[in-house]
Amino acid sequence: MEVRVGRILRSRPVIALVSGVTALAIGGGIAYAISNPPAGGVINACAKPGSELHVSSGGTCGSGFNHYSWNTAGSDGYFGSGGFMTVNSNTVVTLVSKTLPPGKYLLTARVDAESYGPNSGVICFFTSPETPNGWDFTTLNTSSDWTNLNTQWTMMLNTYSGNGGTITVACQQGYVFTNSALAKGTLMIERQNSLG
């Protein structure tokens, strides 16, 4: 696969016009590469000043071109759970998870919970290999009257610094609630170089 992305031009009005078209072309090329990831999950590109940028799965560049590569999966990104999951009986339910290499990360999660039942809700938290029982606990009380849906959400912000492994956003019914609730979560991860 080879995608021609754009030619570098010198005229300012043409650069402005071509920049927008090139951004669309690059986005389309990268989106194609990610939706059809090459073997090993690495995107390879060749670039030469005053020439075209080529994204290819070959990994080699012609004479005079510089070779660039990047990981299609990367550790940074936005991860979601899909739909609502039932949280009941003090069983821990993983809403979303991501395996990370060793490092320092900023974690941002959103948890949505809902229920029609009285005395219902969830307690949600992050887990990691170093802290399997969780940290940054937050409670969402979704208690209702059986006729109205009570929807609650919260944002969780924390850091992870460790040897890597699976990070999760998880919830459980907890001891304070007698009825189950539905919950779903999303997780945004950003690798940090300067976290203390």
Structural domains in the chain, sorted by start: 2-71 (no CATH), 77-192 (2.60.120.760)
Rounded mean pLDDT of 190-195?
65
Confidence of residue 11 (pLDDT cuts 50, 70, 90): very low
Cα 193 vs. chain centroid, distance in angstroms? 18
Burial code of 46-64, b = ≥16 C-beta within 10 A, e = fewer? bbeeeeebbbbeeeebeee
Give residue 98's pLDDT: 92
Task: Give CA separation, 36 vs 8, 32, 33, 87, in Å.
Answer: 27, 6, 5, 35
> Does the structure show a pLDDT above 90 at 36?
no
**pTM for the structure as a whole:** 0.61
d(CA 187, CA 156): 9
Beta-carbon contacts of residue 145 (< 8 Å; ≥ 6 apart):
116, 118
